[in-house]
Amino acid sequence: KLKGLSIRACTSIVSTHKSIAAIFLYIFSFIVSVGKEKMLLSKACCVLIAVLALAHTAAGLDNGLARTPPMGWLAWERFRCNIDCVNDPENCISENLFMQMADIMVNEGYLEAGYNFVSLDDCWLAQDRDAQGRLQPDAERFPSGIAALSEYMHSRGLNFGIYEDYGNYTCAGYPGILGHLEVDAQTFADWEVDYVKLDGCYSEPVDMDQGYPEFGYYLNQTGRPMTYSCSWPVYQI
């Protein structure tokens, strides 16, 4: 059976323009108009601001991604950071595990029910970047590479998700994206990733308001549609 089924929901940031429009609507709703013309003008302003607010919100959703909460299988809840493929080959974080789960999702009806993501979490990485400064998977546990794993997911009709961290390291101590935002975004695009979960260990919460949107910018610059799951609100509570 599918191990560790989980549902992932992606939240988006709402622009402050919507909040400003709401404030104006609140003010205008309490305007006391002496004459009929003033009352009509007040109502017209309310309608205009409401339309602008809705138009701005719609534009934020116009990329076609995450119109419904992304649903699928994420390794962390069940397998955590089990990298012992010598003594526990069936349950360690490896390409075999994710290919097996992909097959189960298709064969047992999860994909048909709407669970169409399979996502890596922490501990898929090698301890060091490659000679060009790019992220790379652990060669023993992912011998075919991440691009090949992504291709396998797509061949099964699934979307492929990946994990990283806006810090020097991931939560488990693997290389983070800090200082490599642009190259890592392009690496994910080259691997044809569909979903990026960005954690927040080993980073300063005060830097996240700028850093997370910056990485989102670089993801957009690649031209590949990727759902972006941001963890930074959790670290600023």
| Burial of 191 (C-beta count, 10 Å sphere; 0-12/13-18/19+) | buried
Q: Report pLDDT digits (tens) over 149-185.
A: 999 999 999 999 999 999 999 999 999 999 999 999 9
**Type and span of the H or E element at 76:** helix 76-79
Share of the chain residues as helix, strand and coil, in percent rounded to the nearest 5: 40, 15, 45
Can you tell me which residue has the tokens 């003008």? Answer: 41
Average pLDDT, the chain: 82
pLDDT value at residue 116: 98
User: pLDDT at residue 210 above 60?
Assistant: yes
Three-state DSSP class for 189?
A: helix
H and E: helices and strands count for the chain: 8, 6
Fold of 67-235: TIM Barrel (3.20.20)
* Stated pTM of the model: 0.76
Q: What is the average pLDDT across 186-209?
A: 97
Provide the token pair at 148.
Answer: 């090949």
User: pLDDT at residue 127 above 70?
Assistant: yes
Q: What is the average pLDDT across 74-85?
A: 96
Tell me which residue of 208, 176, 189 sits closest to 150, measured CA to CA: 189
pLDDT value at residue 41: 42
DSSP category for residue 173: S
Distance (Å, whole) CA 102 – CA 116: 9
Q: What is the average pLDDT across 87-113?
A: 98
Band of pLDDT at residue 237, cut at 50, 70 and 90: confident
Band of pLDDT at residue 62, cut at 50, 70 and 90: low
DSSP category for residue 92: S
Residue type, 135: L
Band of pLDDT at residue 63, cut at 50, 70 and 90: confident
